[in-house]
Amino acid sequence: MVSPFEVLAVDEDADEEAVERAYRERVKRAHPDQGGSIEEFQLVRRAYRELSERDGNGEESDEEAGTAPADIDLGDDGAAAGPKPARVEFLDYEAVVDYGWSLDDNELFRKAAQADLAPDAYGRLLVQPDESLLEAAERSGFAWPFSCRGGACANCAVYLAEGDLSQPTDHIMPEDLAERGFRLSCNGYPLTDELSVVFNVKQRPELDDLILPPGPFTRR
């Protein structure tokens, strides 16, 4: 496994300033808008985060903490502004069903906010730069559905009401469903600063053919 020093091409005794300088230079080339890839961009952000924590400045502020590829500010001089976490408003599809709401209702999240739902059914969480949406939900203490964790089923599927989520590796989601806003949370990384997602949509009939049978690691 490549070390964060190799990723940023800095010496192991590089000081905070040198790491910052190397990160800003490296992340410009890794940015998807500049010819890089999401995977490379995530790798660079993860390396920077690890080295920042090593230097004792890892208590990442909003300004220091990693951003989604689509939102990084490259500035006039091409320098990358500090990354920050993506903010996600989430809603359980079971609540959508229980209340008779519709996924394409523009007022869906306003209705959810006013419905006095349980904290694990409606709320907000932060996705750090090196986390998938599913990982962020789990770190936040939520048990969102999943099975393979590798893009091969749709147990982890979410519906995007706002914002965008990447699908950077091989995955099973058909194009027509992706165009309608369905994504996989296990390998999806925020591409926008803010997202509104409905999780637990695996019970939607259009996803039936993509679901794997429950396995030992399946939740729900």
* Contacts with ligand FES, residue ranges (CB under 6 A): 146-149, 151-153, 155-156, 184, 186
The C-alpha atoms of residue 79 and residue 72 are separated, in whole angstroms, by 10
Q: How far is the CB of 186 from ligand FES (least distance, A)?
A: 3
Q: Which is nearer to ligand FES, 146 or 182 (CB)?
A: 146
Is 153 within 8 Å of 211 (Cβ atoms)? Answer: yes
Closer by beta carbon to ligand FES, 19 or else 198: 198
Q: For the CB of residue 145, give the shortest distance to ligand FES in the complex, in Å.
A: 8
Name 160's bridge partners: 197
Question: Hey, what are 118's tokens?
Answer: 């349980």
Nearer to ligand FES, 27 or 153 (CB): 153
- Shortest distance, position 125 Cβ to ligand FES, whole Å: 18
Which tokens hold the place of 62? Answer: 């909003």
Considering beta carbons, is residue 34 or 174 the nearer one to ligand FES?
174
Distinct helix (H) and strand (E) counts, the chain: 7, 5
Instruction: Please state the closest distance from residue 150 (CB atom) to ligand FES, in A.
Output: 6
Cα distances (angstroms) measured from residue 196 to each of 3, 159, 199:
34, 9, 10
